[in-house]
Amino acid sequence: MTDTAPELSVPEYDRDRLLSWMAENGIKQTTHDHPAVFRVEEGLDLKADLPGLHTKNLFLKDKKGRPWLISAAQDTVIDLKRAHRTLGSDRLSFGNETLMWETLGVRPGSVTALGLINDADRRVTFVLDQRLWEADIVNFHPLTNTATTAMEQADFRRVLTLLEREPQVVDFSRLD
């Protein structure tokens, strides 16, 4: 018998290619290496000395299998039982690792808005916390959870413009 399981493709961008792309496009950023962080709580000490608003990122899917990415300030409460109505989606649940890899090119623990660079087909609906949209400096993993990349808001918005991504900006403190 032969193994017929499909092999997952390698994403176009990894950390090094992402940071090179940012440099080539004049996006100023500072990347800090650190031990792997899988949950927000694990990185609180590491982030304490880094300026800006730090993030948590949820990779989700709706009932039809459509992928969603919510990027929010690390302390934002996101009520998934209510969020779907505000977002205009079906009920949301966590997306699986295969879908995450196919669309964002990241593994669990490394989910990031910067993963949208690997979503060439624009399958992922991107939702951004209002607080991140207004923050002076934002921090995201650069496609790996062993580093944090800080950017000023103008540079983050330039990333989104270059990727032709318009986030759905949501104030999660005011969900229906």
Q: Which of 120, 140, 117, 143 is nearest to 71 (CA)?
A: 140
**pLDDT tens string 59-110:** 999 999 999 999 999 999 999 888 888 888 888 999 999 999 999 999 999 9
| Residues 34/130, Cβ–Cβ less than 8 Å | no
Compute CA distances 53 → 2, 58, 97, 121, whole Å.
49, 16, 26, 29
| Residues 40/74, Cβ–Cβ less than 8 Å | yes
pTM: 0.89
With a pLDDT cut of 70, the percent of the chain lying above it is 88
Output phi, psi for 35, to 5 deg: -60, 155
For the four alpha carbons of 20, 100, 34 and 133, in that order, the dihedral sign comes to: positive
Q: How far apart are CA 131 and CA 17, in angstroms?
A: 28
In this structure, what token pair is assigned to residue 134? 């207004």
Q: What is the largest CA-CA distance in the chain?
A: 57
136 DSSP assignment: S
Low-confidence ranges of the chain (pLDDT < 70): 1-8, 38-49, 176
pLDDT at 6: 45
Q: How far apart are CA 126 and CA 1, in angstroms?
A: 42
pLDDT at 78: 92
Side-chain half-sphere CA neighbours of 52 within 13 A: 23
